[in-house]
Structure 1
Amino acid sequence: MEMDDVLIVGSGIAALQLATFLSHDKNVRILTKSHLKNANSYLAQGGIAAAIGIHDDTKKHLADTLEAGRFHNNEEAVREILNEAPALIGDLYEIFDKDQQGHLLLGLEGAHSENRIVHSGGDATGKNVIDYLIRKLTNNIKVEENVFAYELIIDSKQKRCIGVKAKDPDGTIRYFYGDYVILATGGCGQVYPFTSSAPTVTGDGIAMAYLAGAEMADMEFIQFHPTLLYKDGETKGLISEAVRGEGAILVTEDETPIMEGIHPLKDLAPRHIVSQTIVDYIKNGHEVFLDIRSIKNFKKRFPSITAICEKNGVHLSDGKIPVVPGSHFLMGGIKTDLIGRTSINGLFAIGEASCTGLHGANRLASNSLLEGLYQGKKLSQWIHSNSNKDPISVLPKAYSFIPEKKVLLPDVQTLKDMMMKRVGIVRSKELLEEQKNWLEQFHLHDVTELDSYSIQEITAIFMYVTASLITEAAISRTESRGGHFRRDCPFEDDQNWKKKVIIQKCKGEVAIKHEYIKTALVN
């Protein structure tokens, strides 16, 4: 039995920010299913958004965030996080790119009205931030790699989460306990065939929380990034939106600009609009490229993207990069407040695994790393100012269980293909109900015991559970908004749909309710 003050599952920016801000007298343990750096945060290219430019202010950043989120955001959460953004940037000031006078360089990305994106190493922001935070880890923080957490431990008497059950690569079951249990496991990009997500991002924390009875929110809102490098029928990595911010445009094979007349911001329109436009061209038999010929010193400005292209045989001298949209970010997740408290006492969720309401129906570019930094810092402050009055008192559990009949699932690739076909960028009632019926035949909500499954089998179960949550929420929302587009109801319906879709497992059944959000147009 392992006992800690703070137990963190995951190793992205939110997890590491939390760990580094906790006082040194706290025993902190970080569990990660792979290596410490194998997370989406490490892959993040674009940067972090903050209203720190001379002509910028938080009200403008707020307006852009609400517009991109199609006013489905929790406006209180948006204001709080964006107001903190300059200070959070200040905490990391030394690692960001600056001009010769020492001023931060500010880039422009889609749906932003001002240059407000700080970056590090050109397009290696996530890597540099994670490396910086890892260097700050102290001796009170123990990191355990290659440990797969798969079940929350709930104390039925205290009615709170007190730990997690996990497996080592050889299948050994281990129990970890903590006064505070934090899920920072990221989103669920791998549920789709084309994705910018790391291979480890399979919805683990989301599925664990759901199976334990936590409320889930906004699971229908998946952001598909418009520009993943596409070569030989596969996606090879992300081409940051900052490339379009520097002047690149989307064109077909005959160099027809595809965003002309689609949106006033053209190639810098919100991501769901750009992604839907690209899909329309691809369905009509076209190839789509990023034309980068207008960008001077491309290799210097985007060294990571240059390396990805060269590694995959894309010659930048041609001036065009082949792209397709792919799953990039989950706006929904485990329903939390600003600091990460869930509907289960003792359980917290931060980063992409959580849903604070910041992103609404579609995330504004470069607001995600910002949210992770905010939640990590604020949760550390809350932990310092609060203490559990009911200390954990548990005995080590022996490895014993009664095996149930194992659920048999098709291979994960089949799930990915079905999700893209039926619950992808363009959806409809018919396709969504087909997917729901297909998923229901596996009776995933009836799974009560995971001990006898292998890590690979549990991962597949989690992916199927997460896919089911996305599908259920997408059926429930009978309108189009942000990252959720239904061709059978293609317009926003503010009169009937100013509400969130909340899904919860209750007494073995799937409960769906609607919760009205409090937001307003920008003052």
Structure 2
Amino acid sequence: MSEAPTAIRYLMELGASFDPGAHEGVALTREGGHSHRRIVHAGGDQSGAEVQRTLDESVRLAGVQVVEKAFGIDLVIGHTKSGVRAVAGVKVAILDSNGGVESVGIVYAPAVIVATGGYGQVYASTSNPPAVTGDGIALALRAGVAASDLEFIQFHPTVLWVGSEATGQQALISEAVRGEGAILLDAAGGRVMAGVHPQEDLAPRDVVAAAISRRMAEAPAGVDDHVYLDARRIENFEERFPSITASCRNVGIDPVTELIPVSPAAHYVCGGVKATLDGTTSLQGLFVVGEAACTGVHGANRLASNSLTEGVVAGTRVGRALSWSLPEIVEPQEVEADGALIDSYHRAALRNAMSKYVGVLRTPDGLEAASAILRTLADNASAAVVPTRKAFEATNMLTIATAVVAAAKARTESRGCHRRTDFAEPLAAWERHLMCRIVDGRVEVD
């Protein structure tokens, strides 16, 4: 975190425009778990988009070749002259406009950086965009690289609720709204966070998400699938939160004058491929950064806005290191044959099982039920399935979901954003990381 200010200043040098403060410098806000205002923001509530715009523009200006409509299927492995197993490249599918496979080839490279994000799309409701299906993590697992802390999935407490049947990406109602004074109410008008935590509505995300889940289970006023965010006291809401205002009004809600219906949804994964903050992994030449990596920075529960910070800092470190020296080029010796895939229509069953049984509050019976459903889906895998983007994604989602459930079953305690009803407290014996690996085609946890 000590490198964060430098990384943010570097983004500004590249052209990122953050909202100015009232007097000088940039404006700062606070979010869940924060005791001080320390978060820069852009366009009110469009910080991520501004960072992405800046980086995209920098890549374009640098003349970097970008191959669009391409999907990384598997890592290609080789050995160095001294016999060390190392990355030799990536097996890539070029896709047509409908997601079908036009061709498959190998991109040879001494260094491969995985920056594919998390796996929020394994859940029926998520704040993540459609492409966040765990592809990079699954790719690394299949190459024999360990992933850590996969059971720690952060559910954002306040995702816009648009109906009990809604699936896929839902609009995020930023924690900054509560940072500016909004409060959570149940359908009967009761304060959700009163008496739950000293910081009440600005408690850490796992605390707020669990409190909302428990309150929904009580079904106040007969409502068991959402609560409300009251932001009506915030002055200049439309100016401060233009994207949130637009998202609400798109579904017929005016956040300036009305309560905003919200519920928890999968948002961020604290686990990922085991890596250092420099991006290095146990496989020479493979680097992993951002949400796809597990560096230990976030522990069992990430503080709000630390994800963008980690991504920028770690990405800068990796880029700097590789600009000075690339790993040894190796000859490819292991090119996996096309494996079995599952049909994309199985995604719905997978997502529903994960949301129902592996959500904010987890039970032993629920985890067993999820395991059984995932095993049935795995039995449907076949080499005869037509390879498409959605089939690749569905297969990766199954790999990730299986590992998540295995880790959640193994960790018999509650810690951070992993909460089990049968083990309600953290235990000293579990102050350690769980590692997931694929061995002989099966997920193993240790």
Q: Same fold (TM over 0.5)?
A: yes
Alignment of 1:313-392 (within 5 A): 313-388=252-327, 390-392=328-330
- Matching residue of 2:114: 183
- Matching residue of 2:69: 146
CA–CA distance in 2 between the matches of 1:347 and 1:247? 44
- Matching residue of 1:54: none
Judge conservation of contact 2:350–2:373 (CA < 8 Å) in 1: no
Q: Secondary structure at the match of 2:105?
A: strand
Shift of 1:509: 4.0
Distance change in 2, residues 1:490/1:141 (3 Å): same
Counterpart among 176, 188, 193 of residue 254 in structure 1: 188
Judge conservation of contact 2:44–2:240 (CA < 8 Å) in 1: yes
TM-score, with structure 1 as normaliser: 0.77
1:220 aligns with 2:151: yes
CA–CA distance in 2 between the matches of 1:308 and 1:275? 21
Shift of 1:448: 10
Q: Which moved more, 1:447-456 or 1:467-476?
A: 447-456
Aligned residue identity for 1:503: C
- Matching residue of 1:307: 246
Judge conservation of contact 1:184–1:353 (CA < 8 Å) in 2: yes
> Unmatched 5+ residue regions in structure 2?
none
- Matching residue of 1:134: 56
Q: Secondary structure at the match of 2:65?
A: strand
CA–CA distance in 2 between the matches of 1:176 and 1:268? 46
Aligned residue identity for 1:428: T
Judge conservation of contact 2:124–2:348 (CA < 8 Å) in 1: yes
Q: Secondary structure at the match of 1:95?
A: coil
Shift of 1:404: 6.8
Judge conservation of contact 1:450–1:458 (CA < 8 Å) in 2: no
Q: Secondary structure at the match of 1:482?
A: coil
Shift of 1:467: 0.4
Alignment of 1:102-141 (within 5 A): 102-137=24-59, 138-141=61-64
CA–CA distance in 1 between the matches of 2:372 and 2:24? 58
Aligned residue identity for 2:362: R
1:198 aligns with 2:98: no
CA–CA distance in 2 between the matches of 1:393 and 1:191? 35
- Matching residue of 1:87: 6
CA–CA distance in 2 between the matches of 1:277 and 1:158? 49
> Unmatched 5+ residue regions in structure 1?
1-81, 514-523
Render the CA deviation track for 1:445-481: whole Å, top value 9, x for unaligned.
x979799632221111111111001101101100000
CA–CA distance in 1 between the matches of 2:298 and 2:417? 11
- Matching residue of 2:232: 293
Shift of 1:135: 1.9
CA–CA distance in 1 between the matches of 2:330 and 2:108? 8
CA–CA distance in 2 between the matches of 1:213 and 1:168? 25
Shift of 1:90: 1.7
CA–CA distance in 2 between the matches of 1:184 and 1:342? 13
Distance change in 2, residues 1:406/1:420 (3 Å): closer
Distance change in 2, residues 1:501/1:393 (3 Å): closer
CA–CA distance in 2 between the matches of 1:182 and 1:87? 22
Q: Secondary structure at the match of 1:150?
A: strand
Aligned residue identity for 1:309: C
TM-score, with structure 2 as normaliser: 0.90
Shift of 1:361: 0.5
CA–CA distance in 2 between the matches of 1:110 and 1:450? 48
Percent identity for Structure 1 against Structure 2: 39
Alignment of 1:428-447 (within 5 A): 428-443=363-378
CA–CA distance in 2 between the matches of 1:164 and 1:190? 23
CA–CA distance in 1 between the matches of 2:58 and 2:284? 29
